């Protein structure tokens, strides 16, 4: 073994320890937050739910311009007006991220009318809320096209310019269900697992691209109309997240360049347990917590 290679092998565990200690200290100590006053933020699914609160939170924390994309003009218009009244320039465009040609067309319109997007928030998502055998084929395809492939098209549309400017941020609102799937949401869980893999690959692929970062947010069940009717067994122990809290923590993660954010932090324990516990034990956890049957009462928006 060459001397240089031997030194690298020797230094590797020391480097790992350094990064672990540094990350631990960063979690405990206040982090320096980057300024948003020059950022142009585009949020998909921005008319309602978490997307609506994300637009308001980015505006609150000083973003220069907010751009909302979505499929329902009424919701987009209402949210845009609310953000504009708060004093932040806001634009909205009707765009279905599942439609690749429409994404590229509207991205060009955005650049011409508003300017370069520097923060892209991939938030648009749908859930069918049925088992595989009860699911309509077109509904299953819709989930994959919006929740997963939509990210491909929006990121391809806006990332090249970020790389040219050496300035940008790609954000994904994912879900803890990407790592801990439940019955009755097979379309959503599958699409979010694919979305997580997309972001993990993209995050690593941008390591040598100065000025461009990624943030993936993995929240627990959030109290929006999208998952209306979903019930866990112990809501006092596992209360649904408020969408405004998810938005606030997401913007904070962007400002501190946090790559992956689990909400709440206890979701780390769930991922850790899954890494070594036998399947039968995990099944008992699902049954005890009520996640095994939580979609039985689902009546949310698809």
For residue 76, CA distances in Å to 70, 73, 137, 187, 282 come to 7, 5, 29, 26, 41
Q: Which of 196, 200, 256, 245 is nearest to 221 (CA)?
A: 245
Q: Is 18 noted as a catalytic residue in this protein?
A: no
Catalytic residue among 92, 188, 262, 292: 188
Q: Whose CA is closest to 71, among 138, 128, 127, 125?
A: 125
User: Are the CB atoms for 249 and 263 separated by under 8 Å?
Assistant: yes
Tell which residue, 104, 112, 51, has the closest CA to residue 80: 51
Cross-strand pairs, 171: 121, 215
Closest listed residue to residue 265, CA positions, set 200, 215, 197, 218: 218
What distances in angstroms separate CA 173 from CA 32, 62, 113, 185, 191, one per listed residue?
Answer: 23, 20, 26, 17, 12
Any idea which residues carry the catalytic annotation?
188
């Amino acid at each position: 073994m060459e001397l240089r290679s031997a030194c690298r092998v020797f230094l590797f565990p020391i480097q790992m320890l350094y990064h672990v200690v540094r990350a631990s200290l960063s979690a405990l100590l206040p982090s320096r937050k980057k300024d948003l006053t020059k950022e142009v933020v585009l949020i998909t699914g921005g008319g309602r739910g978490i997307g609506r609160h994300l637009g308001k939170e980015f505006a609150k924390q000083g973003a220069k311009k907010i751009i909302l994309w979505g499929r329902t003009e009424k919701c987009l218009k209402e949210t845009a007006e609310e953000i504009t009244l708060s004093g932040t320039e806001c634009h909205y465009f009707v765009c279905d991220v599942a439609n690749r040609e429409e994404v590229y067309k509207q991205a060009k319109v955005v650049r011409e009318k508003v300017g370069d997007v520097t923060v892209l928030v991939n938030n648009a998502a749908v859930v069918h809320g049925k088992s595989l055998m009860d699911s309509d084929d077109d509904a299953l395809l819709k989930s994959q096209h919006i929740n997963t492939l939509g990210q491909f098209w929006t990121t391809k549309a806006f990332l090249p310019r970020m790389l040219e400017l050496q300035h940008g941020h790609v954000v994904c609102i994912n879900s803890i269900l990407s790592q801990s799937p439940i019955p009755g949401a097979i379309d959503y869980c599958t699409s979010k697992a694919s979305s997580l893999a997309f972001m993990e690959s993209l995050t690593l692929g941008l390591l040598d691209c100065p000025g461009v970062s990624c943030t993936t947010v993995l929240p627990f069940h959030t109290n929006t109309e999208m998952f209306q009717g979903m019930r866990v067994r112990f809501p006092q122990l596992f209360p649904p997240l408020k969408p405004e809290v998810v938005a606030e923590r997401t913007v904070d993660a962007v400002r501190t360049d946090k790559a992956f954010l689990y909400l709440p932090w206890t979701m780390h324990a769930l991922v850790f347990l899954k890494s070594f516990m036998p399947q039968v034990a995990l099944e008992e956890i699902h049954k005890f917590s009520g996640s095994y049957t939580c979609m039985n009462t689902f009546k949310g928006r698809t």
